[in-house]
Amino acid sequence: MEEREIDIREILINWLAGLPLMIALFLLGGILFGAVGFIKDSKLEAKMIIMGALLFVFIYMAITGISYIFSHAVKFCDDLKSIYSVEVLGKTALPYKKKDGKTKKKILSLKDKKMSRLEKAELIKLVGISVKKCAINADANKIKLIGNELDKNAELLRDVINIELKTVNILVEMIDGVLYKSDSLDKLDKDDTVVILVKVGTTTYEEIQSELEICKRQGVKVLGVLEYN
């Protein structure tokens, strides 16, 4: 596994997306420190306001920046192909959450302008076609989608892939918890063809590495990874 590079651009975009919160902290810090300065000495009030405002913003930026750098979860801008030397078959993950406001979505969309212009349904459709083509090239009779804590979004992905692969008579099975459930691990057989599902922001780098090692140890062919959220 290659060492992951820190994407400064993604950190800056995250800070920009948190601008409303930074403004609120700027004002809060200024008010609190300004009040303390006024009580102690009215001449210090202006300096304390500036000091408090900047301190609160700095603390916010430091916490979010450090959290990003030391987080073990896969990031939106990570190049998994370079990190693990494995094919990325597709990506349905968007840089923002459904509940985010319009302004925040526009800012976070700067992480990948092309992907952000596509609808989620279209991205999933493209992934289904990509997996179908790769499965045909690999001469696979069945594709097993593996991952951990697979949710409704993963199930939706499976359903779309299943529709595409049915047209070429290739079966699809989803196996959840291959790292943590013995019965799930038992479903992996030698000469199987699998696709690893990676949930951006949740799946860890260590989990991907462990899944790749299990597949190699058991003689399972890894077609590639799919990133979703």
Q: d(Cα 44, Cα 41) in Å, to the nearest integer? A: 6
Residue with tokens 């990676």: 198
Q: Are 180 and 148 in contact (CB under 8 A)?
A: yes
pTM strictly above 0.75: yes
Fold of 80-228: Rossmann fold (3.40.50)
pLDDT at residue 90, rounded to an integer: 87
pLDDT at residue number 216: 92
Going from the C-alpha of 223 to that of each of 17, 48, 67, 146, 220, the distances in angstroms are 35, 59, 32, 11, 10
pLDDT at 20: 87
**Other beta carbons less than 10 A from residue 102's beta carbon:** 7
How far apart CA 29 and CA 158 sit, in angstroms, is: 48
What residue segments make up the domains of the chain, in order of their start?
8-70, 80-228
What pLDDT does 135 receive?
92
Provide the residue-wise pLDDT of the chain in tens; the chain has 229 residues. 656 667 777 888 888 888 888 889 888 888 888 887 767 766 667 888 888 889 999 999 999 989 888 889 998 888 899 899 999 998 887 666 666 677 766 766 666 655 555 677 788 888 889 999 999 999 999 999 999 999 998 998 999 999 999 999 999 999 999 999 999 999 998 889 999 999 998 999 999 999 999 999 999 999 999 999 8
The Cβ of residue 181 has, within 10 Å, a number of other Cβ atoms equal to 13
